[in-house]
Structures are given as C-alpha cells and as structure tokens.
Amino acid sequence: MPGSFKTEAVVLRSIRFGEADRILHLYSSTRGRVGAIAKGARRPRSRFGGRLEPFFRLDLMLHEGRGELATVTGAATVDGYPRVRESADTLAAAGRGCDAVLRLFDAAEPNQAAYNLLCRYLALLDGQESVDGNGSGDGAAGLATALAFRLKLTLAAGFAPELGSCARCGEADGLVGFSGAAGGVVCGACEAGSFELSADAHRFMVEALGSPLAAVPITGQRPLRQVAISPASPRAPRPWSRAWRSSGLRPRWRSPQRPRGRG
C-alpha cells in the first residue's frame, strides 16, 4: 500500500543512476529486501552526504509509490563501520558478505536473524565485538569467519545440512565425506560421489553453527578448503547446496578435490 514508512537497513549495493541519483539495494530489519532510489544523492550539497554507500547501517524514511522502487526521503547513520574501508581484505570480505545476503534473500520478507547476523559480521570486520580488536581466530576478514558467516546465513535462510549422521543411511559413525546430492555428511558405505570431508572439517562446520560468530573455531587451511569446496559441488541438486553456492563464496583454489567414487 502506497505511503511512507521508516525502517532500519544496511546498504548492500549502491549504483549510480542518471545525472545525480543513486539506486540502492537495501536489507531491512522489518521489510527484508528493499529497492530504493535516492534522488539527488550525488549532488555536492546533497543532504544524504556519503551515508548511502555500501555497508552503512541506516535509519531510513522512505516513500512507497506505485513503482518498484521506494524513494529515500531521509537517512540517519546508525553505524558506518568506517574501519572496514581501511583494509582491502576487510573491504572485500564485507562486499562478499553483502553479496551473499543479496543472493540468498531476494524477497520483501523480514528475517531478523539474517539482519542481525549481517550487522554482527560488519561489526567484526570493523574491529568491534572482539577481544583484540580485529576479530578472532584467523581474523574477521579470514576464510574461517567468512565460512562461519555463510553457514549461519544459509541456516537463517532455512537451509541446514545434515551433520549429525549419514544423510543417506543415518549411520552416526565413520563419516568420511560430504554429499551435496544427499544434503550432508555421508559414511564410508555411502561415500560414492561425495567429496572428502576430514574430521577437522566436519568439526568446524558443527562448531561454527553452534558458536557465536566472534568465537569462530580455529582450524587449518585444508579443512577450511574442504568446507568451502565440498558443499558447493555443481553436481549437488539439493536446496542447501544451491543456497551455499548462492551465498557468494567462490573458492579461489586452482585444483579442487575431485569427487570420490563414481556415483
């Protein structure tokens, strides 16, 4: 219904439009995904200043008309996360995090868990909410925190991998791989077509989902690479695997592990 509304939101993406406007992709605590236009935002004396850039957390006043985009009529900064922009690593991590939200949550439906998680991740990248001021484990901008964020984000989206027992037969012991087709870990008898998943990688997934984002479990690079690659197999048709691939994480390693077996 047309009219004005107020909401808190994070700017996921900001695109130049026309001579002086900006198109915004927002994730709102009360509305979910919101598309908006900020008219005149790029003019030197714009009342919005620089607060409509990506990663800003804002209190917004918007007007919803008959078009697809709401119009920004007011904006106040809740948190600008300024230290995120001081490092190429944190800037890239924040961009991938916002892109993950952009891909996974495309509906105008609120998801408070996802919104809180995004704000927590940006706060960690900004050096907040950590003992030493720069995250925990391998650092907030590192792969471990990024994977933990995406595991929690897919869970907030309603997709959860089976990690407690074999996703095919239910066996709780001898878990040796991850099958995207089955939707979780698999035992030795059901490993055909799966990707190798070590005990350390399995433990990381379980602990990452059960721990606060600031207390990401510490593990080596090989288990982290297994977590990044295994569920993302393009052969995996299950919804959780599609959600994992849509979360925006793209492994950079040149030689990913080949599937085990023929299945």
Whole-number pLDDT of residue 253: 27
Whole-number pLDDT of residue 142: 87
Class assignment of domain 3-79?
A: mainly beta
Residue written as tokens 């609120």? 110
The residue ranges of DSSP E strands in the chain, in sequence order, are 3-17, 21-28, 32-38, 57-64, 70-79, 175-179, 184-187, 195-196
User: Taking the CB of residue 124, how many other CB atoms lie within 10 A of it?
Assistant: 27
What is the per-residue pLDDT across 71-100, written as a single tens digit (0 to 9) for each?
999 999 999 999 999 989 999 999 999 999
Beta pairing partners, 17: 21
Quick check: 106 and 100 in contact, CB under 8 A? Answer: no
Quick check: 197 and 177 in contact, CB under 8 A? Answer: yes
User: Taking the CB of residue 5, how many other CB atoms lie within 10 A of it?
Assistant: 15
Furthest-apart CA pair in the chain: how many Å?
Answer: 67
In one letter, which amino acid is 208? A
Closest-CA residue to 226 (of 260, 192, 190, 261): 260
Quick check: 127 and 133 in contact, CB under 8 A? Answer: yes
Per-domain boundaries in the chain: 3-79, 82-246
What is the per-residue pLDDT across 31-51, written as a single tens digit (0 to 9) for each?
999 999 999 999 988 888 889
What lies within 8 Å, CB to CB, of 128 at 6+ separation is none
Q: CA-based angle 60:66:72, to the nearest 5? A: 20
Give how far Cα 166 sits from Cα of 63, 75, 188, 227, 245, Å.
Answer: 50, 49, 9, 16, 22
User: Residue 176 and residue 170: Cα distance in Å, rounded?
Assistant: 13
Give pLDDT < 70 ranges for the chain. Answer: 1, 129-139, 230-263
User: Residue 207 and residue 229: Cα distance in Å, rounded?
Assistant: 18
The topology under which CATH files domain 82-246 is de novo design (two linked rop proteins) (1.20.1440)
* pTM of the shown model: 0.84
